[in-house]
Amino acid sequence: MSAARPKSSAAKSAALSRRRMGLLPSVIFMSRWLQVPLYLGLIVGQTVYCVLFIKEVWHLVSHAMSLDETSIMLAVLGLIDVVMISNLLIMVIVGGYETFVSRMGLEGHPDEPEWLDHVNAGVLKVKLAMALISISSIHLLKTFINPDAVSERTVIWQVAIHIAFLLSALVMAWIDRITTHTHPEHYHDLAARHPAPAPVREVAETE
């Protein structure tokens, strides 16, 4: 009879962790699943935005002959705004679930998002801040295209909010950089757990 293979150190430590976890820690750890209805609610919001996008496209197509260039540009910017908010929702749903609830097991999947293999709480916050800056830029551009539709006070507030978004993103990126350099072993472990796929090399056919 062949001898049983010894378990790896990672498997042993995982088994010990499961055995040592008491009732209260188990309940606290399982409470992360309470976030699932929140992400499902965001999926419902994503659906509503899809309906809004279709409605705006239909309005643009049906009134294309009667709209001037400025109105068409504003309508297109509105569509871009909806798309960017939808991208923000996808980032929160997928990245938040992967970071705070459970692994999705997408490693090696052909449709795995490029940013998901190195996402963590810090990276997710920076990406969300960049998405908010992009959305704010679209709103500013719409205001600058048609400045007569808003008051000067509104323009000042929009610019101030946009600058606040920019400063917040810079601060979060700086904090994430400091954290990465302060605790590099944590990020090395994450990279070892989720290695990037090796590039496919073309092999010349030999006769």
Q: What is the pLDDT of residues 110-140, one digit of tens each?
A: 877 776 766 667 777 777 888 888 888 888 8
Query: Rounded to whole angstroms, how far apart are CA atoms 99 and 94?
Result: 9
pLDDT for 201:
47
Residues 6+ apart with CB under 8 A from 11: none
- The sign of the torsion formed by the CA atoms of 104, 177, 125, 136 equals negative
Under 8 Å between Cβ of 35 and 99: no
pLDDT for 40:
94
Which contiguous run of DSSP H or E holds residue 88?
A: helix 69-90
What are the residue ranges in the chain where pLDDT is below 50? 1-7, 187, 196, 199-207
pLDDT for 5:
46
| Residue extents of the structural domains in the chain | 28-192
